[in-house]
Structures are given as structure tokens and as C-alpha cells.
Structure 1
Amino acid sequence: MAASGVHKYTNLKNESATLSGQGGYGAPPPQGGYPGGYPGGPPAGGYPGAGQPQGGYPGGGQPPPAGGYPGAPPAGGYQGGPPAGGYPGAPPAGGYPGAPPAGAYQGGGQPPPAGAYPPQGGAPPPAGSVPKYSGEMPDDDVMDDPNRAETQPTAPPMEKMDHIGGYNNVGFNANVLPPPSYEDATKMQPPTERQAIQNVPTITEQDAREALLSHVAEHCCYGKGAAEDLKFLDLKSTSAFHYTLETYGEGRSTSWAYEPYSGQLIDGPQNGTAPGPWDIQATPPTMFQNTEQNLEVPHTASVKPCHDCFSSGYVRCHRCFGRGRIRCVHCHGSGHVTRYHDGEHRHDRCHFCHGCGRRECYTCHGYGMVVCKTCMGHRNLKCYIKLTIKWTNHVNDHIVERTPLPDHLIRNVSGQIAFEETSPKVWPINHFHEQEINQASGHLISSHQFPSERMLMQRHRVRIVPVTQCLYKWKDTESDFFVYGFEHCCYAPNYPQTCCCGCSIL
């Protein structure tokens, strides 16, 4: 039974070779292609048995049927020139709608030469026309590995990219651009009047007790008896000051980008000169929020043949390496499995591969070729320069807090805004009664320099957050806790009535 399975596989290999000669893709285009080819690509002159002339057919298509295409001129052409009205099937006078105008092509105003990469509308190969792979492949059967890494898209070679004025140093990695001078912001004068600072409200003993009870309720191992029965000794109300500086900047970078060409609009250099990166108008959707936007630089697009599949739309299958079949994992390629039945070992034909020892590849379905991930089967790529705009809100702060309360707790609670200014360039605070805030303002403003970004707006504010240190006595224990913020948040690290595993409540 195993011998018949091997013979069946031999017939399938012969059938695969025959089909590859009928529908396989030939060599890459001789003009407009890439010199030397790429690893895994077809060899020079096309795959063996491809049945195509040297250099392949124009556009990477199929050979003409016997007798030529319907409507094509006869062999040798028409005598006496074309017939009245032109050849059958020829384009109308003036060209097809949407076609490039005369003179749109660079290099003399002529279209690409025959055999180069015509865009062809970016349509993928029709369904059912998947070619059989006939290039180099392993001699032995391939053991199936579902986790084998899939072929990843790669960027086109830089030497094939167009030369765009002002973008000569652009690659596929982001190129950060320094902003133009921004002298207007630095010439602004400091404000002559600033608003006064108001008093911050204080809390009562009842407010402090309720804040502590809420804190205790959030901890399953805390007893509420202490919070209910403690006696307040003193409430010391103070204020914490929170200074915040925000600088909203805009940074720009350029890089080459590509996407499958499926017939979308191509705005190329023939439509005009590409504008500079900082000449393109863009407005952030919301001020003081981090946002990123990608734009296509006008007049930089072009259509290029896919370099990974040589404009065929397909690449060799990464799972079977082009064989179209993989070794059966159930019988390990033997065509039979060993079973223990009635006290003896029996060799039965494998039901998964029907005794062949090999199965059709699940990824390519026996063709040995899969759709190219780079062009998604469209055979061509749209290449253009991408402008990336990042609006970044740079935030720094300084907290002045004189009690044992940790400073970072002040950031997350609300308080009274005592001072706030928004301007293209703010000036340091010099009128605040807490000198540490004045000094922090001057230091942070002088440090907010971002050479790679254009400063759009600055904003700084001072918040006054109420903090109350609550001194109390419960039984023989004297301790304290803190109530802070308008939310009356509580910080009580020394709460006397706690318990855990193996402990009892005091």
C-alpha cells in the first residue's frame, strides 16, 4: 500500500510540473525591473518549464492563445497602415479618461517602454489563476510546521525611489526636521497685571471624621470603632501649592512610504513641485493634547513594480517552500500507522493522507505560491513621501508641601486655581507669596526648550490644595491622619485599629 502511495505522489509531481509550464510566471521584466533579482525570486530567464520566451511576456501576463487575441492585428500588421477608425480595440482619440496626459512621463515625455511596469490599474491577478511554483525547492519532503514564520513585507530599494526636490535625504526611516525660526513668540512682553490669589476653605471636625470613615470602609481589615470614637486634639489647616507648566509643540518628520496600488489617484511630480515639509498647513484637533497625523506630501507619488514578487502578485509559500505538499504529521510520511489490535501490531493505511504520506499544503492549497504580502496581490506599489506630524504636550510640575503628606498625592486631587495664563510664550511667575513657586516657575520655563519642535502655545497655573493634619487620641494611642483636596481624601498610615491574618483588632 505504501508503494502505491509513492507512485501517486510521483504522478502529482509530474502534473505539477506540467501545470507550471502552462500558467507559471516568467522572469522579471527586463526593463524597469531590479538588477540581480532578490532571494527567493525567479531565476534569470524564468522558471524551468515555464514555456515563455526569454524575458517573459509584457506586464507579467499569460502567453497569447493560439491564433492571437481577438481583435488583434494579423501577423505582419495591416497592409497600407491601420484601417479607418483605427485598429479594433484601440484606445479612443485623446486617450482613455483618467490616463496621464501627454508629456506627463519624465525622461522625454514618453510612456514607459514595452516590458516595463505598466500600472494596469493595480488589479490583482484574477481568481483561479494562481501560478504553480517551479523554482528552486527542497529535494526532500517538508515536515509541516504551523509556526513557521511567514514572509514579511519589505520596503522597496531606495535606488528605485524618485528624486524629489527638497527630499533628497529621505529614507524609509523617519527623518526629523528642525522647525523654522519662531521669533514672534520670543518677542512677547510679560503681562502687566495678574489676578489676585484667594483664600482656600478649611474643614471641620465632622468633615475630618467622615473622611476617615470613608477611608476605613475601603480597607476590609480596618475596624471603624476608632474612627467613630476618637477624640480630636487639633486640626492644623495648611495649603499645598502645585505649579504646572505645559508647552505644546509641533514636530514634523518625513519618510518614504508605500502601499498596494489598487488604482488610487497618483499625484506625481508631473503635477507640480512638492511643497516643503513646513509649508503644508495642518492644525491640531485639540490644544494641549498629544495627537499624531500622517499626510501624503503632494506631488511625490509614483507607481513601482512590487520588488518582493517581481510584479506577479505571488511569492513562494513559506510553509511548504514551493512544493505544494507537506509530509503528513500523523504518519510522519510513511503512509501507514501502527495500531495495537487483538494482541498484535497492525499497519493500517493512514486515513489523513490516504496512504500517500503527504498532504496538500494548508497555506497555498497545493500551488506552492501565496499572495504577496507587500502588494497584497496587486503587483504594483504606490510609493510616496509621508509627512508625520506629532503634536506633543510637554508637562512639568513642582509641588510645595510642608507636612509629612507625600507630595505625589497632591497631583491627583482638585484644588483652587489661584493663577493661570495661556500664551504663545509665558513669562515666569514673580508675584506669588511662596517664593519656591516663583523660583520653580523660572527654572521650568527656561528648561522648556525643544529644538526639534515648533512651539505653538504655553500654559502655566498654580493650584492651592487644602491639607489638614488631624491630631487625635483613641484609648491610649495618640496619632494623626491627613485630609487633603476638595474631595476630602484621607491619608492615615498610622490608623490604630487594623488587623490581618493571625492578628486581632485592638
Structure 2
Amino acid sequence: MFIYSESPYLNRTQGQPQFACTHGQQSYPPNQGQQPSKVLDDDPDENPNPQPPSPSVPPLEELNQFSGYGNMDGTPLQPPPSYNEALHLPPPQSQDITTTVPVVSEEQARTALLNHVSQNCCFGSKAANKMKFTNILPSSAFHYSLESYTEKRSPKWAYEPYHGQVIDGPFNGAAPFPWDIEARPPALFQSHTVNREVPHTASIKPCHDCIGLGRKRCCNCRGKGMTRCKKCKGRGYTFDYRINNERRHCDSCNSRGRVRCSVCNAHGQTECLTCNARGQLKCFIRLTIEWVVHHDDHVVERTSLPDELIRTVSGETVFKQELPRVWPINHFPDVNIIEASNNLVQRHLTGFQAERVIMQRQKVRAVPVANIHCQWKNNSFSYFVYGFEHKVHAPDYPQQCCCGCAVL
């Protein structure tokens, strides 16, 4: 084993690393042309992408304790302030809800189908042009949606390098409770996240990652300043396979078997990235405030048209309510909407125990749906025209080809 005497790693006057080593009676590094007797197994290999271990938060026992901040693992605080007064507001006056069913004409139905055919390369247009209409059945699908705009707060210890910035510590007063810190969302029903430093919680601590030294052992050479030569693999010589495996002088390491560490430049230590080599950290409580939109919906559609398609098109808004706490709908022509509103409002009332409900919004859209029955070449088929965009759902269109685009 090689024993190094490094005092210090760097010669301050010469700017070159100083190493002394003894191995039996042989000095190291060897003189020019002298080769080491064996591979230096204790030398680390060069790491092409050295990554120092990620530092953790300073030990909690070294940090100050603040009232109201017992849970510091980043999970949302619970419970938030009570807003029961919103539940005791009188219900809003009932609105007269009327729904009309738009009628799709034969010309609109044919045009919508032709547009749909033109967007599918395997659909022929002859059936859409020549088909005869046998019946058009108009109806309305209802899309009920409920949104709850909530806020949640999560405290967690944080730190940053201290470089002389102002410290707002406990000497300036008591730290406010998490829910007492004022914060407003940029706009309602838009998700957003901000981080705030909790006032009066900052302090200066020695860096826990480098013990306040500002430097750490190099992760590439493990503090030795040298790494094993890649070219000769630490032997100090290479083999020339063209001339009977003749040993050759390794010009990469000058036959030493080792090279200067490319990360620390043979110092054995690198700057601490946690504190930016300053040795001190500013520690404080960071409060993460998140505004979240919780959305639930329900579709009432009595034809075979998939419900997912109703969600993707526009319709007429026949009911809308926006309050700190909405009331379930109890007056609507379709009883399924009343039932869906009661279920979802109750779910949102108890579903976010760790979040404060800021505003709720519910609405009902009436989406026109037309079931078109047609005939072409003794084949009867049907398709759907839905939404104000006149989208088409035609899985039974008779002129389809799965092998290419030869059908016209």
C-alpha cells in the first residue's frame, strides 16, 4: 500500500502539487524511465461524470423551532381555517332554466358528413353525396361540471448560501402562522404555485455539507489528488501488440501509472456547492402555496353517442353558478342532472380536508345531438351530428376501406 504525505496538497509558491510516498525502499514517483513494480490497485478510476452526493436539509436539532410549524416534511397543512360562514349563506334564488333543441337540416347533415369523410383517407365520398335521408332525430345532451378552486400550504425547511444578505430572524418578532401569511392567486380557477419565505424564521448556520469549511473531498479521486491512468490501467507501461506484446513507456502518465485528477486538479478537494465555498448557509422556512382546480363532471346522453365526445364540443350554457360554496341544483328539467349535482357537491364538500376552498363554480351545458338515418345502395346506416361545430361520429359509414385510399 502507498502512504502519502500531503502537507499541503498544493505548493502555494510553485502552484504545483506536492506528493511524497514510500514503498519499501523505492521512492515514488519513480525516476524517468523507472516503472512501478505492480498495478496501483488503491488508485480510483477516472469518473467521466462525477456527481457528488446530494446534500440533505441541515439536521433539525440544529434548527430553530417555531410555533405552528411542527410538520416540516413538505406535506400540506391541515386543517385550514374554517369557513363555515359560507355554508350558512341563504341559497340563491331559483333560475328559470329552459332548453331548446336545435334542428339540423338535411343540407347541414350532408355537409357535416362530407367534411368528416374528407378528413378520413379511407372513406369514400360517393355514399355521402348519393345517400337518401330517412329520418333526423334531434335531441340534447347535458354536460354538468363542478369546479372547486382551493388553496393548500406546505412548510419546509430550506437553505441557500449566505453571502451577506439581510437576515430576518426571530429577533424581529414572532413568526406568523402559516395560514396568516397573506397570498392571493393571480386569477380565479387558474392553477398556480408560489414559494414564500416565512418572516422571522431565518438564521445563519454553518454549512452541514462541508462542516463549515467551504470545501469537500473530491468525489472523483476520493481526496487522493490522483486517478489511475486510463491508457496503461495503472501499470505504467503499455503493450505493443504489433511487436510481440513488447512493453512500451506510457507517455500519458510518464510511466507513473497515475495522472492528476481532472476535477480537483490534484488538490484532493473541491469547492462545496451547497454553500458556494462560503462555509455558511441562510436557513429559513419556505412556505409553498398552491392554488388548485378540482374538476368533476357528468354527462347525460341517451343515444349511443360516446359521452367523451360531448365533453369536446361546445354547447349552450343553460345554468351557471359561482359562489364561495355552491348549492346543489334542485330545479332542472332532467332529474339526472339534479342527482349528479347533489353527489358532486357533497363530494367536494368533504373531499379536500387539507385545502381551503376559495370559490366554486358549477354549470350545465346543453349540447345538440342529431341522429341521422340514411340509405345508400340498399344499405341503411346512421350517424351523429353533435355540437355547435357539427362534428360527426359515423362508425357505421358504409363506404370504408381498410387497405388504402382507393375508394372514391
TM-score, with structure 1 as normaliser: 0.70
Deviation at 1:193, TM superposition (A): 3.6
Structure 1 pair 263–348 and aligned structure 2 pair: CA distance change class (3 A): same
Structure 1 pair 339–427 and aligned structure 2 pair: CA distance change class (3 A): same
Aligned-pair identity (%): 47
Instruction: Say whether residues 1:360 and 2:349 are aligned partners.
Output: no
What residue is the counterpart of 1:85 in the other structure? none
Instruction: Say whether residues 1:267 and 2:186 are aligned partners.
Output: no
Does the CA contact (< 8 Å) of 1:179 and 1:278 recur in 2?
yes
What residue is the counterpart of 1:375 in the other structure? 275
- Work out the CA distance in 2 between the residues paired with 1:411 and 1:274: 47
- Work out the CA distance in 2 between the residues paired with 1:215 and 1:378: 66
TM-score, with structure 2 as normaliser: 0.86
Instruction: Say whether residues 1:189 and 2:90 are aligned partners.
Output: yes
Deviation at 1:139, TM superposition (A): 7.6
Q: Which runs of 5+ in 2 are unaligned?
A: 13-19, 21-39
- Work out the CA distance in 1 between the residues paired with 2:83 and 2:404: 67
What residue is the counterpart of 2:376 in the other structure? 474
- Work out the CA distance in 1 between the residues paired with 2:360 and 2:74: 30
Does the CA contact (< 8 Å) of 2:158 and 2:284 recur in 1?
yes
Structure 1 pair 339–226 and aligned structure 2 pair: CA distance change class (3 A): farther
- 326, 333, 337: which is aligned to 1:437? 337
Deviation at 1:223, TM superposition (A): 1.9
- Work out the CA distance in 1 between the residues paired with 2:162 and 2:48: 30
Deviation at 1:301, TM superposition (A): 0.4
Does the CA contact (< 8 Å) of 1:154 and 1:374 recur in 2?
no
What residue is the counterpart of 1:206 in the other structure? 107
Instruction: Say whether residues 1:278 and 2:179 are aligned partners.
Output: yes
What residue is the counterpart of 2:235 in the other structure? 334
Amino acid at match of 1:432: F
- Work out the CA distance in 2 between the residues paired with 1:22 and 1:360: 15
- Work out the CA distance in 2 between the residues paired with 1:316 and 1:200: 76
Amino acid at match of 1:304: K
Does the CA contact (< 8 Å) of 1:261 and 1:381 recur in 2?
yes
- Cα distance per residue 1:124-172 (max 9 Å; x no partner): xxxxxxxxxxxxxx981112232554321211001000122333x2434
Does the CA contact (< 8 Å) of 2:140 and 2:369 recur in 1?
yes
What residue is the counterpart of 1:131 in the other structure? none
- 122, 127, 134: which is aligned to 1:226? 127
Structure 1 pair 339–254 and aligned structure 2 pair: CA distance change class (3 A): same
Amino acid at match of 1:326: T
What residue is the counterpart of 2:249 in the other structure? 349
What residue is the counterpart of 2:325 in the other structure? 425
- 134, 138, 141: which is aligned to 1:240? 141
- Secondary structure, aligned partner of 1:176: coil
Structure 1 pair 365–206 and aligned structure 2 pair: CA distance change class (3 A): farther
Structure 1 pair 476–366 and aligned structure 2 pair: CA distance change class (3 A): farther
- Secondary structure, aligned partner of 1:482: strand
- Work out the CA distance in 1 between the residues paired with 2:273 and 2:116: 56
- Secondary structure, aligned partner of 1:177: coil
- Work out the CA distance in 1 between the residues paired with 2:275 and 2:75: 22
- Secondary structure, aligned partner of 1:300: coil
- Secondary structure, aligned partner of 2:163: coil
The CA RMSD over aligned residues, in Å, is 2.4
Q: Which runs of 5+ in 1 are unaligned?
A: 1-8, 24-48, 50-137
Amino acid at match of 2:214: G
- Work out the CA distance in 2 between the residues paired with 1:429 and 1:364: 69
Does the CA contact (< 8 Å) of 1:334 and 1:357 recur in 2?
yes
- Cα distance per residue 1:290-342 (max 9 Å; x no partner): 2111111110100100011011111111111111111122221122322344x
- 19, 22, 29: which is aligned to 2:8? 19
What residue is the counterpart of 1:460 in the other structure? 362
- Work out the CA distance in 1 between the residues paired with 2:109 and 2:265: 73
Deviation at 1:351, TM superposition (A): 3.6
Does the CA contact (< 8 Å) of 2:315 and 2:388 recur in 1?
yes
Q: Which has the higher contact order (CA 8 A, sep 6+)?
A: 2
Does the CA contact (< 8 Å) of 2:237 and 2:247 recur in 1?
yes
Amino acid at match of 1:142: P
Equivalence map 1:129-168=2 (5 Å): 140-147=42-49, 149-167=51-69
- Work out the CA distance in 1 between the residues paired with 2:376 and 2:389: 25
What residue is the counterpart of 2:25 in the other structure? none
Does the CA contact (< 8 Å) of 2:162 and 2:281 recur in 1?
yes
- Work out the CA distance in 1 between the residues paired with 2:76 and 2:108: 57
- Secondary structure, aligned partner of 1:19: coil
**Structure with greater strand percent:** 2
- Work out the CA distance in 2 between the residues paired with 1:477 and 1:365: 83
Amino acid at match of 1:244: S
Amino acid at match of 1:328: C
